Structure 1
Amino acid sequence: MTRTYDALETRSPAEREAALMAALPAQVAHAQRSAPAFARILAGVDASHVVDRAALAKLPVTRKTELQALQQAAREQGGNVFGGFSALGFGAAMPRVFASPGPIYEPEGTTKDYWRMARAMYAAGFRSGELIHNSFSYHFVPAGSMMETGAHALGCTVFPGGTGQTEQQVLAMRELQPAGYIGTPSFLKIILEKALEMGVSIPSVTKAMFGGEAFPPSLRDWFMERGVDGYQCYATADLGLIAYETTAREGLVLDEGVIVEIVRPGTGDPVADGEVGEVVVTTMGSGYPLVRFGTGDLSAVLAGPCPTGRTNTRIKGWMGRADQTTKVRGMFVHAKQVDEIAKRFAEVLRARLVVSGEMASDAMALHIEVQGSPEGLASRVGDAIRDVTKLRGDVVLVAPGSLPNDGKVIEDARSYR
């Protein structure tokens, strides 16, 4: 039995990068040609020149909030329900359409394993010929279908358990004896506790793939004590699979079908490996060709390859949200404004705005990493703070490497009591 889903997972990093970059110009051109929204967003971009990460980093980031707003505006004007982001139209090429909170509407195409979930399931131990109990939702959101199509691609049979009806879930597991479970960890915990209450044994469930919630080590150990070996995946309704956990349990390995960048929140600027930033993804599929899609999630690149032999980049997993907009003295302050201030001064290496005090009595200070104490810099930065935010703020000079590596550009340290 092979340890990996396919040979793509063990190719050299150089080979993988070359293949992705070779495919990137055609994907950008496809988005411009087939998705009207990207025809506007990428107007003037010569796709044939987008041949490496440096060129990709020059393209604008489209964040989830912007996609939602563009979809909403298009619908209000009687236009395309997807806001021009889908390359698919209603009919045979789009068997299903889903709605995530917002609402944001997502198309589902007909390609095998459209959401690319089979790879994560294989890493979690699922194999062809097994029955999977799928307890992700089958209505409105695409989670249930994402997992089912991945399971079918893997060669598995699926019981569409969905959510709720805990006693019926227990009875179905007892009688069908699935090899494992796919869903949120909290719901499987509820099912196992209900089975104990009912005096029902479901020993066939020995593995699980989780998503949609945090999966801390304490909960992982809880399942292991009950004979269930669980792994997590990182996927979204817009992008499908982004990364997945392996038996090494050392971060999440990136999927083979996406290009992932980690950028400074509020910007499109890639950060150094190991620095926490926002996860930005470019998909390589044809149906919903998202180019530099900002997930709003924070993560960081882990150094080195996965001990399982998979050679793709690893990330630490979900580390919080990147949207750090806050209100100070009645004015909204955004992460991109902090970045704009920092970029005005070559001496500034990193910046972090700290908002303190109590509500209605706010104070803010911009902490900047600089070498030494450049004469007059604090005063000039203070002027820039007023110019960009229309608010006064103190300036604190700190040594390089002093600011926390947590992805925060704005830290709200106020007391809300």
Structure 2
Amino acid sequence: MGQFFDELETRSAETRAAEIALRLPQQVALAQGLSGYGSRLEGVDASAITTAEALASLPVLRKSDLGAAQKKAPPFGGLTAVNAAGFAHIFQSPGPIYEPGNMSHDWWRAGRFLAAAGIGSGDIVQNCFSYHLTPAGMMFENGARAVGAAVLPAGVGQTELQAQAAHDIGCTAYVGTPDYLKLILDKAEEMGLKLKFSKAAVGGGALFPSLRQEYKDRGIMCLQSYGTADLGTIAYETPAMEGMIVDEGVIVEIVRPGTGDPVAPGEVGEVVVTTLNPDYPLIRFATGDMSAVMEGQSPCGRTNMRIKGWMGRADQTTKIKGMFVRPEQVAAFVAKHSEIFKARVVAKRQGEMDAMTVMVEAEGGDAAAYAKSVSEVLKLKGEIEIVGRGSLPNDGKVIEDLRSYD
């Protein structure tokens, strides 16, 4: 179901395990030689790390570790096997965290997902992921090239121009965040333009069932993938739509949040990923995302492990409109205004779109000034609701997600 990208997707469990047993020790040994890992892997016998079970004996690498390492040794913290000038691209994500990128064949492994979504030679992909600083735009451009599709590098915004371009060029596939496609479709309808989209490959936010159904009703098959700026694609849906298939270029573990201890099969835990990319060998990188392993094999014919997809965050970090909002960003916003006692970011849905309200506990205050600070610090626009002192619950939450994922 869907196109197969390569023969790796359908290989036997024994063949896959043999390949991992060969490549994983090489990756651990490579990481041991990088200054950014310091003493983390000291004394480890890399040749003994041949399975996901063996990986569990190694320490977890967290985003905070990445940030600390990059401050000591910019831009990549001594965690890459290639120096900065040896990469094709250098990206910046909120934090700031810097990520490398290369143009070699499907470097971020987005091609396998696009193939599963039926995208390939003969398609024109309207790529509405951002090309500015963050890597998503280039990730999917690279993947589209790997499957032989042409690309309109549309980025984000200017919806009227996007609708016009989709019509004039005859774009057949959409790539971007789940809800932005609806804006383009609605704008085209308003302009009296007929579009040719029949496939959509989305990520960077939750694909709600009602939105997927709306796209289906409009003749568009919409599938989603799960990945990060650091790791690239981790897992992806196929037309079988039974969980997500783990990509062949990573090893996924599900661990108890805050630890590196694997949970029982089927139990919800934090997603920890080891990448087999020799340019950037992240070993046991904790994503902060929650998921669970699904037993059995996908009816689509792909044989790798399946996970249930994104099931929330291990911490309060929340993705809104495709951007992560972190507790430390909320703290930075509060620190900018001495009259604010505390604040809470509330994520919700308005129709089929993400919306954000920032509840500010203060005696009076300037809502316009707060809105400006929110935009600067959180990199997102949101409504401001000023409430009196003591109004917000004393539950430790600074980010609350009211969106339903059922």
Distance between the aligned counterparts of 1:46 and 1:415, measured in 2? 42
Question: How far is the alpha carbon of 1:413 from its aligned partner?
Answer: 10
Work out whether 1:169 is the aligned partner of 2:162: yes
Question: How far is the alpha carbon of 1:18 from its aligned partner?
Answer: 2.2
Residues 31 and 39 of structure 1 are in contact (CA less than 8 Å); yes or no, is this contact kept in structure 2? no
Task: Determine helix, strand or coil for the equivalent of 1:185.
Answer: coil
Question: How far is the alpha carbon of 1:213 from its aligned partner?
Answer: 0.7
Residues 117 and 241 of structure 1 are in contact (CA less than 8 Å); yes or no, is this contact kept in structure 2? yes
Work out whether 1:320 is the aligned partner of 2:312: yes
Q: Counterpart in 2 of 1:225? A: 217
Question: How far is the alpha carbon of 1:31 from its aligned partner?
Answer: 1.3
Work out whether 1:137 is the aligned partner of 2:161: no
Partner of residue 179 from structure 2, selected from 169, 179, 186: 186
Partner of residue 208 from structure 1, selected from 200, 209, 227: 200
Q: Give the share of equivalent positions with the same residue, in percent.
A: 54
Q: Counterpart in 1 of 2:382? A: none
Distance between the aligned counterparts of 1:322 and 1:179, measured in 2? 37
Task: Determine helix, strand or coil for the equivalent of 1:98.
Answer: strand
Task: Determine helix, strand or coil for the equivalent of 2:267.
Answer: coil
Question: How far is the alpha carbon of 1:128 from its aligned partner?
Answer: 1.6
Per-residue Cα deviation, 1:272-325 (whole angstroms, up to 9, x for no partner): 110000000000011111000000000000111001111111100000111269
Q: Counterpart in 2 of 1:41? A: 40
Distance 1:55 1:413, change over 3 A: farther
Residues 280 and 293 of structure 1 are in contact (CA less than 8 Å); yes or no, is this contact kept in structure 2? yes
Distance 1:413 1:47, change over 3 A: farther
Q: Counterpart in 2 of 1:383? A: none
Residues 37 and 84 of structure 1 are in contact (CA less than 8 Å); yes or no, is this contact kept in structure 2? yes
Work out whether 1:198 is the aligned partner of 2:200: no
Amino acid at match of 1:212: G
Per-residue Cα deviation, 1:51-75 (whole angstroms, up to 9, x for no partner): 2233210000001122123223x1x
Alpha carbon RMSD of aligned pairs, Å?
Answer: 1.9
Distance between the aligned counterparts of 1:148 and 1:415, measured in 2? 41
Distance between the aligned counterparts of 1:279 and 1:196, measured in 2? 40
Question: How far is the alpha carbon of 1:161 from its aligned partner?
Answer: 0.3
Distance between the aligned counterparts of 2:305 and 2:396, measured in 1? 39
Q: Counterpart in 2 of 1:10? A: 10
Task: Determine helix, strand or coil for the equivalent of 2:179.
Answer: helix
Task: Determine helix, strand or coil for the equivalent of 2:39.
Answer: helix
Question: How far is the alpha carbon of 1:216 from its aligned partner?
Answer: 1.7
Distance between the aligned counterparts of 2:240 and 2:59, measured in 1? 35
Amino acid at match of 1:156: A
Distance between the aligned counterparts of 1:231 and 1:245, measured in 2? 6
Distance between the aligned counterparts of 1:6 and 1:81, measured in 2? 34
Question: How far is the alpha carbon of 1:112 from its aligned partner?
Answer: 1.2
Residue ranges of structure 1 left out of the alignment (5+ in a row) = 326-411
- Determine which structure has more spread, i.e. the larger CA radius of gyration: 1
Q: Counterpart in 1 of 2:62? A: 63
Q: Counterpart in 2 of 1:364? A: none
Partner of residue 272 from structure 1, selected from 264, 270, 277: 264
Question: How far is the alpha carbon of 1:40 from its aligned partner?
Answer: 3.1
Q: Counterpart in 2 of 1:249? A: 241
Task: Determine helix, strand or coil for the equivalent of 2:226.
Answer: strand
Distance 1:415 1:143, change over 3 A: closer
Q: Counterpart in 1 of 2:277? A: 285
Work out whether 1:81 is the aligned partner of 2:80: no
Amino acid at match of 1:250: E
Question: How far is the alpha carbon of 1:139 from its aligned partner?
Answer: 0.8
Task: Determine helix, strand or coil for the equivalent of 1:41.
Answer: coil
Distance between the aligned counterparts of 1:282 and 1:48, measured in 2? 16
Residues 210 and 232 of structure 1 are in contact (CA less than 8 Å); yes or no, is this contact kept in structure 2? yes
Amino acid at match of 1:43: E
Distance between the aligned counterparts of 1:226 and 1:249, measured in 2? 19
Question: How far is the alpha carbon of 1:90 from its aligned partner?
Answer: 2.7
Distance 1:62 1:2, change over 3 A: closer
Distance between the aligned counterparts of 1:167 and 1:47, measured in 2? 54
Q: Counterpart in 1 of 2:142? A: 149
Residues 131 and 159 of structure 1 are in contact (CA less than 8 Å); yes or no, is this contact kept in structure 2? yes
Amino acid at match of 1:144: G
Q: Counterpart in 1 of 2:402? A: none
Distance between the aligned counterparts of 2:269 and 2:250, measured in 1? 17
The correspondence of residues 118-137 of structure 1 with structure 2, limited to 5 A, is: 118-137=111-130
More displaced 10-residue stretch of structure 1: 123-132 or 299-308? 123-132
Count of residues in Structure 1 that have an aligned counterpart in Structure 2:
322
Distance between the aligned counterparts of 1:413 and 1:305, measured in 2? 45
Residues 274 and 284 of structure 2 are in contact (CA less than 8 Å); yes or no, is this contact kept in structure 1? yes
More displaced 10-residue stretch of structure 1: 236-245 or 13-22? 13-22
Distance 1:172 1:280, change over 3 A: same
Distance between the aligned counterparts of 1:109 and 1:18, measured in 2? 27
- The normalised TM-score by structure 1 is 0.74
Question: How far is the alpha carbon of 1:111 from its aligned partner?
Answer: 2.2
